Amino acid sequence: MTDTTTLAASTALSRTLNNGMIEIPTLQTDRLTLRPMTMADWDDYYSFMQSDRSLGMGGPFQKKMSWALFCHDMAQWPLMGNGALMLDDRETGTCLGQVGINHGPLFPEHELGWFLYPAAEGRGIGYEAAQRFADWARHERCLPSLVSYIDRDNVRSRRLAERLGARLDDEAERPDLADLVYRHF
């Protein structure tokens, strides 16, 4: 992307945020569509948040907290210019999980996070989605840096962050002192 294009994208985003409207992107990879959340995503999202698979995020969560997180993932778009996107298999349309960029009072820096539903694990889906969203964050949203806050025991997420090229940053501020911080760029 050229500097002129980057400036235009940044200016358009600022104008959109200032007017209280943000266009949530739909992004594509070879196998995935990263798309805005809908109410139809709630049941699978809630099942994930109730399960032990949400341990690395502070879960499992009851319904009230799961709903708060679901709404938080969506509300960040108009408030912060970033948020969560769901991951759909382009061939089947099946939702495979979520990738998000979090920021605001709970996150010291823009955080790239992800979770996958069980059927998506071990297929490179997390890598493909996180890489595409990180590229969007850097080139379209013009963020100067991204980090991932990862529970020390979440070996799979740590490996994914490293595969994405992120490196440990022991000096970075973190919302949970027990988490590791991986810096992407």
Is 8 inside a domain boundary? no
> What pLDDT, in 10s, does the model give residues 125-170?
999 999 999 999 999 999 999 999 999 999 999 999 999 999 999 9
pLDDT at 22: 76
Determine, yes or no, domain membership for 127.
yes
Question: Which residues make Cβ contacts (< 8 Å) with residue 72, sequence separation at least 6?
Answer: none
Number of H helices, E strands in the chain: 5, 8
Give the domain extent around 54.
24-183
| pTM recorded for the entire structure | 0.88
CATH of the domain at 122: 3.40.630.30
- Do 137 and 159 contact (CB within 8 A), yes or no? no
In eight-state DSSP terms, residue 17 is H
Q: Is 11 among the domain residues?
A: no
- Which pLDDT score is estimated for 117? 97
pLDDT over 50 at 9, yes or no = no
Mind listing the pLDDT tens digit for each residue in 39-62? 999 999 999 999 999 998 999 999
Task: Please report where in the chains the tokens 């955080």 appear, as a residue.
Answer: 111
pLDDT over 70 at 7, yes or no: no
In a domain, 6, yes or no: no
Residue 10 lies in a domain: no
Within a domain: 14:
no
Q: Does residue 51 lie within any of the structural domains?
A: yes
CA distance linking residue 97 with residue 173, whole number of Å: 27
The answer to whether residue 3 sits within a structural domain is: no
Number of domains in the chain: 1
